[in-house]
């Protein structure tokens, strides 16, 4: 039984070149679903659980390149050599990248080259996922006018929502929503929508902040929102490394989720749920300091 995916429903198929295999057991030891075993002096794929998920780990650890895995959109030709240890980012380099990244909401009047956005997407595609293959979609909107058109659609969506979601109706829905969801909707989403509308009416785009480009991350019903969030985080850090400012936007996806025609125009895969938007551009305001953040346990909570 294969793990369900929006496009792929088969299990991976493992093939081993037994003449080259030395039975070092690395593939068996690294297999996350324990579908590989050694029987009759050979590596075998056994039928257990939901079978091979085509993660490719066995191919990546085999010292003699004698394993190939196909299926679920995996191709042995996709394998790449790892960078040499001295070429990899150390903790200090990562710390510098992490602390340099800020949420940028003011952008220069300068477009983002398409090849830079393509590089951001390509590097974000290396993000880990719950179970491969990735069921995350990425839609690119590049150009000031194109981003502004999307912002107009989001504002229009909030106008419709505000007409329906009156305070009295929201209170009636409290038993269904629960306290936390009710408070989030009442104290955050509705005021946010009102701010978007007011800003737009005053000639300001506070949805996507007049950014020159953005990326919409979505996930299929067979994947978790966390997969899209991790991919978006990778894209955000990549943008920083490429000299671009960025900011995650959570206010526009709720409207996108309810507008199938708009999702189709954005080429968001059918059935996918938009989760996060990453606005991207060149920062108009330089940052000269960072700030320390804390997790909750560090606050004594």
Please state the φ and ψ torsions of residue 172, each to the nearest 5 degrees.
-65, -30
Torsion sign (Cα): 68, 74, 79, 83? negative
Phi-psi region of 152 (alpha: psi -120 to 50; beta: other; left: phi over 0): alpha
Clarify whether residues 151 and 249 are in a common domain.
yes
3-state secondary structure 225-239: HHHHHHHHHHHHHHH
In a domain, 116, yes or no: yes
Range of the domain at 18: 13-78
pLDDT, residue 188, reads: 82
pLDDT of residue 168: 67
* 271 and 131 both lie in a single domain: yes
84 is written with which tokens? 């040499």
pLDDT score, position 170: 67
Please check whether residues 68 and 95 belong to one and the same domain: no
For residue range 153-173, list pLDDT tens digits in order: 999 999 998 887 766 666 666
**Within a domain: residue 3?**
no
Residue 150, pLDDT score:
98
Same domain flag for 28 and 149? no
- Global confidence as pTM: 0.91
Domain co-membership, 95 together with 127: yes
């Amino acid at each position: 039984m294969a793990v369900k995916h929006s496009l792929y429903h088969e299990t991976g198929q493992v093939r081993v070149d037994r003449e080259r295999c030395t039975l070092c057991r690395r593939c068996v030891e690294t297999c996350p679903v324990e579908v590989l075993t050694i029987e009759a002096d050979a590596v075998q794929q056994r039928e257990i659980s939901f079978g091979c998920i085509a993660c490719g780990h066995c191919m990546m650890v085999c010292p003699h390149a004698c394993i190939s895995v196909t299926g679920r959109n995996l191709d042995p030709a996709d394998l790449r050599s790892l960078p040499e240890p001295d070429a990899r980012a150390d903790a200090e380099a990562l710390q510098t990248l992490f602390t340099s990244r800020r949420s940028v909401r003011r952008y220069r009047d300068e477009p983002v080259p398409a090849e830079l956005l393509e590089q951001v997407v390509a590097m974000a595609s290396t993000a880990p996922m719950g179970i491969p293959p990735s069921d995350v979609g990425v839609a690119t909107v590049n150009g000031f006018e194109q981003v502004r058109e999307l912002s107009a659609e989001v504002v229009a969506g909030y106008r419709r929502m505000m007409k329906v979601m009156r305070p009295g109706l929201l209170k009636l829905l409290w038993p269904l929503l629960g306290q936390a969801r009710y408070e989030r909707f009442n104290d955050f989403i509705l005021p946010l929508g009102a701010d978007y509308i007011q800003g737009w009416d005053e000639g300001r785009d506070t949805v996507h902040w007049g950014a020159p480009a953005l990326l919409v991350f979505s996930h299929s019903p067979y994947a978790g929102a966390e997969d899209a969030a991790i991919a978006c985080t990778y894209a955000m850090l990549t943008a920083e490394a490429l000299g671009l400012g960025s900011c995650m936007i959570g206010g526009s996806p709720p409207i996108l989720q309810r507008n199938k025609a708009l999702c189709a125009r954005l080429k968001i895969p059918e059935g996918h749920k938009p989760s996060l938007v990453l606005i991207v551009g060149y920062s108009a305001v330089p940052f000269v300091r960072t700030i320390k953040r804390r997790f909750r346990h560090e606050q004594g909570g």
